[in-house]
Amino acid sequence: MYEQVSHALLNQILEEVKPEILRSDLRRFYTRIGANFYVIHSLFSQLYGEREDFLDQMVKLVEVMALRYIERTEELEKIDIERENNHHWFLSQEWVAMALYADGYAGDLKGIRERCSYLQDLGVNILHIMPMMKGPQGASDGGYAVSDFRAIDSRAGSLEDLQELATHLRERGILLTLDVVVNHTSDQHAWAIEAKQGNSKYQDYYYTFPDRNIPDMFEETMPEIFPETSPGNFVYDEEMGRWVMSVFNAYQWDLNYSNPAVFIEMIDTILFWANQGADIIRLDAVAFLWKKIGTVCQNEREAHLILQLMKDCCQVVAPGILFIAEAIVAPVEIIKYFGEDAVIAKECEIAYNATFMALLWDTVATKNSKLLVNGINNLPTKLDGATWLNYVRCHDDIGLGFDDVDIIAAGFEPHAHRNFLLNYFTGNYDNSIARGLPFGRNSKTGDARISGSLASLVGLEVAIQQNDEKLIDDSIKLILLLHGMILSFGGIPMLYYGDEIGTLNDESYKLDENKALDTRWIHRPKIDWDKAERRHLHGSIEERIFNGLKKLIAIRKNIPAFADFNNRELLEVKDQHLFVFLRTNPESMGDRVLVVANFDAKPRYLRLAEIGKRGYHEHTQLRDYISGESPSMFKHYLVLPPYHFYWLVER
Ligand code: GLC
């Protein structure tokens, strides 16, 4: 939009910027900043317009963008332009992601490079390397406490190693996802150290207070994120003699985004990593970016303005970059991180589908899809130009944050139901063979979440201990079933390293004082490469899971109806053990896939006439994409063996 006031200002700013900027070839930068400046200016003024130094800060912001633009290599700019011309590229069914820790997967960044073919063999083409920026030597929340936003932790390697890896991945057609921990820094960060030494400029980078008055007001409404290890939301720093806000662990200090200098530093950080070769930036803990007394300090309107501004600035400098929102919040809130009232994503193109993940686990425990169906039906429709990150497990816990209303509609009492899930997955219910651990127990609210590796949560650990072939087989089927759902639901499926070979809980964290109190470490394994080798051994557990997944991934990539164009319809059927949905290729309506999954330990059936409204009938001839054969039928019933699913096409 052309708007005179902001454009006059832009001209004035461009006259003021540093001479080295003006000497460069900035044609593309000018075009993009011209197109985006009205929005950038209005967002920046909504957030910081009342400040006396507003104009100086605006000049700084434009300078940072220009400097990062100049630094962007020709190769990366070429990719930007390709993606601008094909802006729906990431909605394709061809993408499959995996998240891993550099040290746990392969020792360090160089090691990952050597282990790329393993990922490619499986079919993974998006790699999320968990944060490995410089952090404290001791506890660092798995890399989410960063001490230097521009350096790699020496244990993982160096910046050169990362650049080399990025180039190597690009040559192999694998996208790189990196984290930018936008909400907080470690208390060892240079800004925090300055703040501790009394530098008020840097104290203003955080929320610091001389006494408990304001912290106490905040605490009235703020929930606790890590109630066991880090109760409350403030810590007293002896050296600084002040209280500082630390929502997560005590050593993670929340950044103060009401200070524009913080925003500028962090957009600079995002652009820095974009220029190191990241294709996708995962923005950590975005729901927490804005703090307001009297609220829970999550999902505030200003947090969305900050993300919109980050997106707009990034589009000027590196438009090929995608953002992932890590916002593990209620479904109605998650969806807003794509941006409201828009067609293309105004904030983040991708968001963690924590709702689907948690609902899948509910279905595993209850063997009943009622809550899953309710929850998905109540998920607001997302924008066309945005997509989900669908996952079964990740490095974090499983939160039971489904809507109480949905739980009640499914016939359960919310508190009792959450308790059941917790007991079930920690092996304390009837004959449950799940072996998870509670995480984040809050004695005040009674809440808790669940840790545990996928394989241990579905019972593989107990099945192996008991040497029970039937249980082993069931657990493998469940692992494949859950992945079958994330591979066909719509969105980018994200696997978690180790799950592809059935990695069990890893108890070794209990011996490390920096990890022992955080049960999430039980599912952050060191890959046992001898075990991984067993994937070549016909009939081994590793082979059955790895090859099963590999096959599903390869098939997914060839099914255009699995691309994400809001082309999914949930079909409600009588048998609540089944989960049924239809995916239709919008470019060819006859091209559709019926996904039917049985979450029960017993065989079930589906009468095709039940979904007659969608044109299925007793004579419909079906073929299963996975087996390549007709599904098993008995008369007019589709037969589903225990934990089995089909991807059915009409022939
Ligand atoms: C995100 C990360 C989690 C971390 C938290 C604080 O939720 O996924 O692992 O503990 O942010 O940084």
Establish if 366 belongs to a structural domain: no
Q: Is 418 a domain residue?
A: no
Q: Which of 141, 439, 451 to mutate to test the pocket of ligand 1 (most atoms within 8 A of CB)?
A: 141
* Domain end position, chosen among 200, 230, 254: 254
437, 451 contact by CB (below 8 A)? yes
| 213, 237, 254 - which closes a domain | 254
Judge whether 513 lies within some domain: no
Cα separation, 626 vs 103, whole angstroms: 34
Q: Of 200, 219, 254, which residue sits at a domain end?
A: 254
Helices (H) and strands (E) in the chain, counts: 24, 25
Give the atom of ligand 1 at the shortest distance from the alpha carbon of 395: 9
CA of 396, closest atom in ligand 1: 9
Cα distances (angstroms) measured from residue 342 to each of 335, 346, 382: 12, 7, 10
Is 326 an active-site residue? yes
Confidence of residue 2 (pLDDT cuts 50, 70, 90): low
Give the strand pairing for 645-650 and 175-180. unpaired
Q: Rounded distance, CA 476 to CA 625, Å?
A: 19
- Is position 626 within any domain? yes
Q: Whose CA is nearest to atom 9 of ligand 1?
A: 396
> Please, what is the average pLDDT of the chain?
96
Residue 376 lies in a domain: no
| DSSP state letters, 330-385 | -HHHHGGGG-SS-SB-SS-SEEE-HHHHHHHHHHHHHS--HHHHHHHHTSPPPPTB
* Domain at 571, CATH number: 2.60.40.1180
pLDDT at 84: 93
**Structural domain count, the chain:** 2
Ligand 1 centre from 249 Cα, in Å? Answer: 10
For ligand 1, whether the C-beta of 142 sits within 6 Å is: yes
Decide whether any atom of ligand 1 lies within 6 Å of the 285 Cβ. yes
Alpha carbons 428 and 454: distance in angstroms, whole number: 17
Ligand 1 proximity of 326 Cβ (cutoff 6 Å): yes
Higher pLDDT pick, 479 / 24: 479
- How many C-beta neighbours within 10 Å does residue 413 have? 12
Active site residue 284: yes
**In the prediction, which pLDDT does 25 show?**
82
Q: How far is Cα of residue 64 from the mean position of the Cα atoms in its chain?
A: 28
User: Choosing from 187, 284, 312, 403, which is the catalytic residue?
Assistant: 284
Local confidence band at 249 (pLDDT 50, 70, 90 cut-offs): very high
In short, whether 397's Cβ falls inside 6 Å of ligand 1 is: no
Q: Is there a domain that residue 200 lies in?
A: yes
Domain span at 610: 563-650
Dmax over CA atoms of the chain, in Å, equals 79
Least trusted range by pLDDT, from 267-271, 323-327, 354-358, 616-620: 616-620
- We report the CATH number of the domain holding residue 231 as 3.90.400.10
pLDDT of residue 105: 98
144 lines ligand 1 (CB under 6 A): yes
Let me know if residue 609 belongs to a domain.
Answer: yes
pLDDT, one tens digit per residue, over 410-452 is 999 999 999 999 999 999 999 899 999 999 999 888 889 999 9
Whether 618 maps to a domain, the answer reads yes
* Integer CA distances (angstroms), 157 to 141, 185, 351, in order: 19, 20, 29
